[in-house]
Amino acid sequence: MPRSAHCQWVFRGGGRATASLHDGVTAGVSGSATPGLTAVQVSDLLEKLRVSAPREAEVVELRFFGGLADDVIGAVLGVSPRTVRQDWAQARRRSAAWAIL
């Protein structure tokens, strides 16, 4: 890789370890070496989300813990799949902000 491309790759976050919410929970529960959120931290974040945005919290629970698809979650909550996707994205933004506090 040419030097300029390598510098841009590093500058844009290349090589940085990434972890999804799922990775964090398994790291906390199974004791894996993968850094992330513990199950207690996820629970705390869900409680904060429940207070500020109850529907987003339901979407997180149904999608993350229940493994349901957007259309199924939408049917359960009485909203469109697009609204479910928007709620999921907003919940992830909120939880990312809270996780660094």
Q: What percent of the chain has pLDDT over 90?
A: 38
Question: What are the domain boundaries of the chain?
Answer: 20-99
Per-residue exposure over 67-76, b if at least 16 CB sit within 10 Å of its own CB, e if not: ebebeebbee
pLDDT for 25 beyond 90? no
Around 100, how many Cα atoms within 13 Å sit in the side-chain half-sphere?
A: 5
Give 15 or 86, the one with higher predicted confidence. Answer: 86
Give one word for 39, left, alpha or beta, with left for phi > 0 and alpha for psi -120 to 50: alpha
Architecture of the domain whose range is 20-99? Orthogonal Bundle (1.10)
Give 76 or 33, the one with higher predicted confidence. Answer: 76
For residue 29, the model assigns a pLDDT of 41
pLDDT tens track for 54-93: 999 999 999 988 999 999 999 999 999 999 999 999 998 8
